[in-house]
Amino acid sequence: MKILCIGDVTSPAGVGHLERKLRAFRRERAIDLCVVNGENASLITGISPDLAERLFLAGADVISGGNHTLRNKAAYRYLDDTACILRPLNFGDGAPGHGYCIAEACGKRVLVACAMGNVHIDPVLDSPFDAIEKMLKAERGGYDLALLDIHAEATGEKLAVAHAFDGEFSVIFGTHTHVPTADLQILPKGTGYVTDLGMCGETGGILGMNADDVVLRVRSHLPIKFSVAPGACAADGCIFTVDQNGRTVSVERVRI
């Protein structure tokens, strides 16, 4: 099974880029399942139902989330009603939406989950370790392989989650920092891993945003409103190839 995972969509233009490019890329690379982190699709204000629908139509099978997912209250009903769009599962049972879903690919039941770290990120949620363990226990026997988006700032925390659950997931990938990392690896028990997929959006600035706005905000500490970067769009991600036993056999970085 070939699984394509794409980093944080940072703007509506990133959604448009996937609408133009993703279906053809999936055909070209024979992708069986595609997970897109869409938490910033509405320009760092969460994701709207219409942008989520556009991502599904573009070729995403599952949309994962992060710390901004619940900022758009207009999406709460959509998150409740739509199985394959996720917010971090460690928000707790009282939050709108779902922390995981069961998708289907190649005749297999694929559990796709999203959890959020605690280090240098806001809001600070319940322990991702406890939430992941609870989910795996509850769903044991109900899936054939599992994927995890660990949405976190600290690289060490992402790696700690990966090593703690090596062998429990076929694939663990990090999101949130918007910077693609070079540490593609297969952990000892067969879990494919990368610390951060990168992003999908305008490439000419800082993490998808206009560089002048970011510099002014960092230097002045004032609540400067960000605008999008001026560059062309690109989508960063990885392709994980998983064997019939649920072990990753290769990890490849891609840019669309």
Return d(Cα 246, Cα 109) in angstroms, integer: 11
Return d(Cα 41, Cα 51) in angstroms, integer: 7
CB 82 within 8 A of CB 61: no
Closest to 152 in 3D by CA, of 183, 180, 173: 173
Q: Which residues are catalytic?
A: 68
Return d(Cα 49, Cα 55) in angstroms, integer: 10
Q: Which residues are registered as beta bridge partners of 104?
A: 109
CB 35 within 8 A of CB 56: no
Dihedral over Cα of 118, 127, 146, 51: its sign: negative
